[in-house]
């Protein structure tokens, strides 16, 4: 798939997800390029007074973009339960398990996914895989980086501190933490790896999302239109 058609696929998936939003909903707004397309379409629907919504952003970047687009914002303090969350993914498998975190917002994205009654994941076909593998982002408090990296190496992973593109030194998350990108050749049991990673002292969260498959709907932008795959519980919502 060319870069142009990949962009078209992201746009189509994002727009499709935005059309799933109903008037009066409180939304989780994900971080990343595909989720941004959903926000663009949501903005148009808000401007046209087709819907009135409020969004909980998962990052400072998403909050800035939402304000620029005229999407009203709120917080989990005001709305601890969300109707819907729209987000992207780095990988998604046939069971709707995800790897997320290239945008460094994985912890807030997981909090929002947990709070949402339904999670809509937007993706281009390149993100759909038969089995999760490769880099799993891990958010870590700075104090614990060295022992966490040692533990990850002992688990067979290859950990690397993520460094900034336009700054010297490590990427700092919106929560003030570091990110370790840990490569795994194979992830045979994603749920087990997620559980193991999140109990390591000093780890805040990891980029494996395995607990929300039942309420997840995947929207994949394809040349002939959007393919929609829905978890069992999401079909009832």
Report whether pLDDT(154) > 80: yes
Q: What pLDDT, on the 0 to 100 scale, is given for residue 232? A: 72
Report whether pLDDT(99) > 80: yes
Q: What pLDDT, on the 0 to 100 scale, is given for residue 236? A: 58
Over residues 39-66, mean pLDDT:
97
Tens of pLDDT, residue by residue over 178-194, are 999 999 999 999 999 99
Report whether pLDDT(233) > 70: no
234 pLDDT tier (thresholds 50, 70, 90):
low
Q: What percent of the chain has a predicted confidence (pLDDT) above 90?
A: 88
> Could you give the angle at the alpha carbon of 234 between the alpha carbons of 220 and 77, nearest 5°?
100
Tens of pLDDT, residue by residue over 202-227, are 999 999 999 999 999 999 999 888 99
CA 72 to chain centre: 20
Contact 162, 137 (CB under 8 A): yes
Report whether pLDDT(3) > 70: no
Give the mean pLDDT of the chain. Answer: 94
With a threshold of 0.75, does the pTM exceed it? yes
Q: What pLDDT, on the 0 to 100 scale, is given for residue 58? A: 98
Distance CA 226, CA 68 (A): 27
Distance CA 193, CA 206 (A): 9
Please give the span between the terminal C-alpha atoms of the chain, in angstroms, as a whole number. Answer: 34
Q: What pLDDT, on the 0 to 100 scale, is given for residue 65? A: 97
Domains parsed from the chain with CATH numbers: 3-126+211-236 (3.40.50.1360), 134-207 (3.30.70.260)
Higher pLDDT, 32 or 58: 58
Q: What pLDDT, on the 0 to 100 scale, is given for residue 44? A: 98
Active site positions, annotated: 109
């Amino acid at each position: 798939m060319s870069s142009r058609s990949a962009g078209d696929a992201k746009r189509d998936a994002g727009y499709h997800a935005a059309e799933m939003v109903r008037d009066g909903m409180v939304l989780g707004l994900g971080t990343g390029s595909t989720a941004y397309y959903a926000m663009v379409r949501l903005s148009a629907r808000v401007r046209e007074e087709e819907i009135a919504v409020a969004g909980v952003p998962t990052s400072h970047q998403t909050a800035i973009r939402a304000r620029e687009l005229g999407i009203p914002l709120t917080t989990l303090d005001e709305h601890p339960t969300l109707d819907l969350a729209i987000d992207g993914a780095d990988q998604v498998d046939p069971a709707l398990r995800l790897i997320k975190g290239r945008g460094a917002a994985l912890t807030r994205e997981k909090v929002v996914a947990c709070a949402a009654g339904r999670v809509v994941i937007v993706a281009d076909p390149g993100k759909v895989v038969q089995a999760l593998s490769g880099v799993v982002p891990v958010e870590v408090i700075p104090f614990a980086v060295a022992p966490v990296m040692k533990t990850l190496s002992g688990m067979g992973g290859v950990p690397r501190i993520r460094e900034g593109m336009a700054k010297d030194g490590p990427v700092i998350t919106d929560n003030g933490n570091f990110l370790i990108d840990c490569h795994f050749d194979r992830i045979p049991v994603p749920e087990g790896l997620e559980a193991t990673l999140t109990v390591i002292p000093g780890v805040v969260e990891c980029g494996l999302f395995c607990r929300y498959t039942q309420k997840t709907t995947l929207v994949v932008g394809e040349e002939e239109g959007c393919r929609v795959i829905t978890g069992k519980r999401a079909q009832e919502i």
